[in-house]
Amino acid sequence: MLQNSLSIHPSGGGVGAFVDNIDLGTLDETQAGTLKSALGDYGVLFFRDQNITTDQHLAMAEHFGGVNVNRFFAHVPEEPRIAEVRKEPDQKANIGGGWHTDHSYDQIPAMGSILLARETPPQGGDTLFANMYSAYESLSDGLKATLEGLNAVHSSRHVFGRNSNYKRGGKDIGDRLGNEDAAQQDAVHPVVIRHPISGKKALYVNSAFTLHFEGWTAEESKPLLDYLYAHASRPEHTYRFQWANGSIAFWDNRATWHYAVNDYHGHRRLMHRVTVEGCEIGR
């Protein structure tokens, strides 16, 4: 696809596309419209060599629906609208080290995030993405029919709250997360949603924040949820993105999962993330 000199081509994996010939620091409305449509189609867009400023990073997000300030992440100095995703050389645990989609615990989930690599390790630190369109489309007709009548309950309490998993596990990320009293969000969403940009159906559960199906117990829900998680993360639905300084991944939470690989111990990794406001999602 070629428009206004920018070019968009599929990643070659199960999800995502690369965008070339564009300077995100001078993004205009026409280009933003092209990117929004592509985001709906591909789920995640990848950019290289985008050494944009803090102001330009925020201005980019404003083209797509405004900035959603994350309640739990540490932020960059003097700019609370930009979350800092950081791991120091002596730290063992990383943030996002498991398949998830951001903000599904909110009544109106964030559209997506624009993650900019500021400092990358010499090797490792990739991010995996998974395609929730193809995850849904490749299910049997019988299972599709079952899922389309279901809702699921999502929560932030067990991830960011006072008795969160990372605290009980003794993980060393306490200085990078906070505001635990704000972890009161529970939300109910359809298990299969109609994507607001593309109009396609997508699977909308994830192992980090989904607790159970509405009206089912957690024990009853677990076998089917575990099957869906294993199915959605199969290699044919995924792509592994390798970062470099100035790289950007712009993903849509309604169409993808992501997973930050924690394989760079002894090295620093610093990313700046701006989250974009979303809209209500439904069937």
Q: Given pLDDT bands bounded at 50, 70 and 90, which one contains residue 185?
A: confident
Q: 57, 71, 86, 102: which is the annotated catalytic residue?
A: 102
pLDDT surpassing 80 at residue 244 = yes
**80 within a domain of the structure (yes/no):** yes
123 within some domain: yes
What is the CATH classification number for the domain harbouring 44?
3.60.130.10
Alpha-carbon distance of 257 to 223, in angstroms, equals 20
Q: Would you say residue 186 has pLDDT above 80?
A: yes
Q: What percent of the chain has pLDDT over 70?
A: 90
Asked if residue 250 lies in contact with residue 44, where contact means CB atoms within 8 angstroms, the answer is: yes
Domain assignment present for residue 36? The answer is: yes
In a domain, 261, yes or no: yes
Catalytic residue among 57, 195, 237, 258: 258
Is 258 a known active-site residue? yes
- The whole-model pTM stands at 0.94
Note whether residue 200 is domain-resident.
yes
Q: Is residue 282 part of a domain?
A: no
The answer on pLDDT for 183 being more than 80 is: no
Summarize the confidence of residues 189-210 as an average pLDDT.
97
57, 100, 195, 237: the catalytic one is 100
Does 4 score more than 60 pLDDT?
A: no
pLDDT at 3: 47
Give residue 72's pLDDT: 79
Domain of residue 56 covers 2-276
Asked if the structure places residue 283 within a domain, the reply is no
User: What is the pLDDT confidence band of residue 240, given thresholds at 50, 70 and 90?
Assistant: very high
Number of separate domains in the chain: 1
**Domain-located, residue 139:** yes
Amino acid at the residue 155? S
Q: What is the mean pLDDT of the chain?
A: 92
Active site residue 102: yes
Let me know if 75 is a catalytic residue: no
